[in-house]
Amino acid sequence: MLKYLSIRDFVIVESLELDFAAGFTALTGETGAGKSILIDALSLALGERGDAAMVRNGCERAEISAEFEISKLSQVQAWLLEQGFEGDDGVCLLRRVLDASGRSRGFINGSTATQQQLRAVGEYLLDIHGQHAHQSLLRSESQRGILDSHANLAADANALTSLFRDWQKLHNRRLQLEQNAASVMAERDLLQFQRRELEGLKFTVAEWTELQGEHTRLSHAAGLLETAQFGVEVLSEADTSCLAQLNALTARVRAGVEFDAKLQQTLAMLESAQNDLQESVYALRHYQQDLDADPQQLREQEQRMSSIVEASRKYRVSAEQLPEVLKGIVTRLQELGGDADMEELARQDKASQEKYLQAAKKLSAARKQAAEKLSQEITLAMQTLAMQGGRFSVELLPLAEGNAHGLETIEFQVAANPGVPMRGLAKVASGGKLSRISLAIQVAASKAATVPTLIFDEVDSGIGGRVAEIVGGLLKQLGQRYQVMCVTHLPQVAAMADSQWQVSKAATDGVTLSHIRILKPAERVEEIARMLGGVKITDTTLKHAAEMLGISA
């Protein structure tokens, strides 16, 4: 239930704070006073699109905050928990800020939220029936939505849409493969050849790296052997080799140490160098033994590298990318499938169709039962709205083939007078009758509402007299089950309300502002009299207004 609404700098509202109660509340006021601003503000808080024109002239931003009591709304609590919008127990606070540039921000329980998230939670909290709702009622999708909502079939309808899309995805894929069988077969043959070719190459990036290094070493083997041999000769085998000369020098310094101890450090360094050079000789000789300059091995490596380079050129990638090419070929082959895959796909297509048809037939049966009940309820409501003898029917028109919404289209048909044949709602010519039929549909649909708050924005337009009094009675009945608010210009409707708010506007220093206040009983008499009597309010009008309120008390 809506508990509190705060409006700041919105259209012609400077500052407004409203506390709401249960039951039926009427919002009244002179034409142009801004009665629908409350509805527009709530719509913005619940995720409707806003624009810069909604910001009050000369202000930087407009701000709307709406607080809802949700202690008995388990679905809302679960949604908030799932989306990470936990707040105080039993409370859901929606806030929307719209700046003068048209940019807006939304919040749920203090956390930033998208418009889509505001709309999603708003669907659990509040329904707004606008004065032009009958225009949308002429569309088949709106009629289907009303029927499904009235029968609590919305979840089943959404599930059916998912089943249909799954089936169509499989079906279209199968048809595409069948229609392109020749080209698919040719592509599959080419891919299979390429797969065999690359798998036969048995290429790995690690092998390629090792192969490149080994080839470089083998291709320079002769020069490397020559270098090693030269090193051995210079260090130890030549007559004037480094080691021979170093050994001679070391021996003389060692002898000199006996006469001068200061040569001991030099001797240590020479002996260390002597050891290092000897180790170098051993290492070079070992390298000579290990270095294999086999020409046959070199030719084999060159052939292997040539095969890899040729493959990389063929597929227009670097050698390192060949494994990714093979992976892509395998993936594409899986997508194309083989003959066995085509048969399996056909089986899946058939099974998916059967699953859809089974759910669709079940939904059709539930819709048929619900259509009969809704037809009776709306027909009964029409009798009370000055259409005695009128009939209403929710027809399920079969489709040659099912679609995402089922095996039928929904059409609202009506006969406004006795003896008149049933026709589609869209063919009803009289705007007044259409408005009353629309109200009957909305009232009947609202009886199955799952949201706690219903708002009617001048849906009583085009009616009056006894019918208006009946409309007020219908809204009062709804107010016993839901929190109901109605923007109205009819005194008969306003008199039925449990409470009444007056919307007015006044200009101060050239600035026009809208105000809303809760009327006391005496003030309600004056407001109802104004709605009855026009410009001049007489004692008779005031008495009539008091009688109307006394009847509704």
0.75 exceeded by the pTM? no
- Residue 224 pLDDT > 70, yes or no? no
| pLDDT attached to residue 408 | 95
| pLDDT attached to residue 438 | 76
**Parallel, antiparallel or unpaired: strands 511-518 and 91-99:** unpaired
The DSSP line for 232-281 is HIIIIISTT-HHHHHHHHHHHHHHHTTT-GGGHHHHHHHHHHHHHHHHHH
Counting residues of the chain whose pLDDT is more than 70, the rounded percentage is: 89
pLDDT in tens, 125-161: 988 876 555 566 778 888 898 899 888 898 899 999 9
pLDDT in tens, 398-413: 998 899 999 999 999 9
CA distance linking residue 35 with residue 459, whole number of Å: 13
Q: 1-15, 187-201, 389-403, 530-544: which range is least confident on average?
A: 530-544
CA 538, 540, 544, 550 torsion-angle sign: positive
DSSP 8-state assignment for residue 410: E
Element (H, E) at 502: strand 499-508
More confident residue, 527 or 343: 527
Q: Give Cβ neighbours of residue 293 (< 8 Å, ≥ 6 apart).
A: 218, 221, 222, 225
For 291-405, where are the alpha helices, taking DSSP H only? Answer: 295-314, 322-336, 339-384
241 with 352: CB under 8 angstroms? no
- Residue 265 pLDDT > 70, yes or no? yes
14 with 56: CB under 8 angstroms? yes
Residue 70 pLDDT grade (very low, low, confident, very high; cuts 50, 70, 90):
very high
What tokens were used for 454?
């219903």
pLDDT in tens, 324-362: 988 988 888 887 765 556 778 889 999 999 999 999 999
CA distance linking residue 44 with residue 265, whole number of Å: 93
What is the average pLDDT value for the chain, to the nearest integer?
84
CA distance linking residue 74 with residue 413, whole number of Å: 37
Q: What are phi and psi of 243, to 5 degrees?
A: -65, -40
- pLDDT winner (highest mean) among 35-44, 114-123, 177-186, 301-310: 114-123
| pLDDT attached to residue 535 | 67
Mean pLDDT throughout 316-331? 88
What tokens were used for 368?
């048929």
More confident residue, 319 or 290: 319
Domains of the chain: 1-131+458-475+482-518 (3.40.50.300), 187-336 (no CATH)
- Residue 285 pLDDT > 70, yes or no? yes
Q: 237-251, 314-328, 436-450, 476-490: which range is least confident on average?
A: 436-450
CA distance linking residue 96 with residue 101, whole number of Å: 15
What tokens were used for 197?
């070719």
| pLDDT attached to residue 553 | 42
CA distance linking residue 1 with residue 126, whole number of Å: 8
More confident residue, 459 or 527: 527
pLDDT in tens, 447-478: 666 688 888 877 666 677 788 888 888 888 88
379 with 371: CB under 8 angstroms? no
pLDDT in tens, 176-193: 777 776 677 788 888 889
